[in-house]
Structure 1
């Protein structure tokens, strides 16, 4: 049987420095992205620019929660129930918004590369549509993270204060199963299926092309896929 005391000691020893490294590197990288898009380039030129800026903002929100998680891994949760709910919800908002924004990027690349005629017709309105899509992403992500805000509680387990989800007591844990199933299906698997479809068609289209620009676009696709895989680790 796993010794929970050993697990707590391990977390307290290794998680805080890891969290601080992620915090520092992530803050520098994402603030640089925000600075480039808001100061150097002065304006957002493409739909992908809008999505990447929103991805950076989502990551910065998550990074603001890491100091709380670092302290929690050492001393337990000492920040009260309000911050427990906020940190839990922001963590999920970051995850879902990241998934959905990467999905938006895949759809944008699909339209630009595969549906070229449609892309030309929508050229003047693409920035407007991208901002509208981002508004929808943030709203939908907040709704998917609402259970964290509702069920996150501060509990005492064997003398350790934890910030954890406490679902309503009902037969067969129906509330927990329903919430997790909805979040996983709508917030992960559905965006994943959309991305798989878009990128499979994009890669097939680019492999059939011989122009330099097409192959350059293929490299961009692989970078986006790599970022997606890295974000799920």
Structure 2
């Protein structure tokens, strides 16, 4: 004979729907803040006599709270899955490559700079020597200093910017953590003078917990100090002694 299927337990929604409205408010408020007194106030139960405490003893209220907890509390498999995800964390998950520009310079003979400054002076003299007098004098003074430097060192050079190039640096990034699915493991973040800094969860601790779960480690306990010992001694009386 085929055995009838065992009745399925009611869901939290079904149990909640069967409660009195005030008891539903009582239970839901309690599940939100874990304070029975506040739950009683929300459900409009009088503080006098603490009647709300009696409502928590009702089987239907207790069953609903238990069902809600069973739905919300992590299962053992979920705990292990979350620990595994944390144990696999890599520092690379929290960083990204950021592009930045740097100037590129070349060394050129100092005579080139002198020639360029002399050409500028010539243009200013041709344009309006009186209006540009102060600038002309400043350039002529610089030319004189560079001429002396070149005379002392004929191989002298100067640096001139010829462009820029793109370089990359590794920086912490909350967006990278989000894209890599590890944002939940960021434990704190702040912006300082040097940019964003944040701390993420300890992967090693998660690995230790998983190792203990799988019994990968053998713990040894060492004892120090004096250890009292009782040794049993059989005493054989002399022949004829009682």
TM-score (norm. length: structure 2): 0.22
Instruction: Name the one with the larger strand percent.
Output: 2
Instruction: Name the one with the larger helix percent.
Output: 1
Pick the structure with greater CA Rg: 2
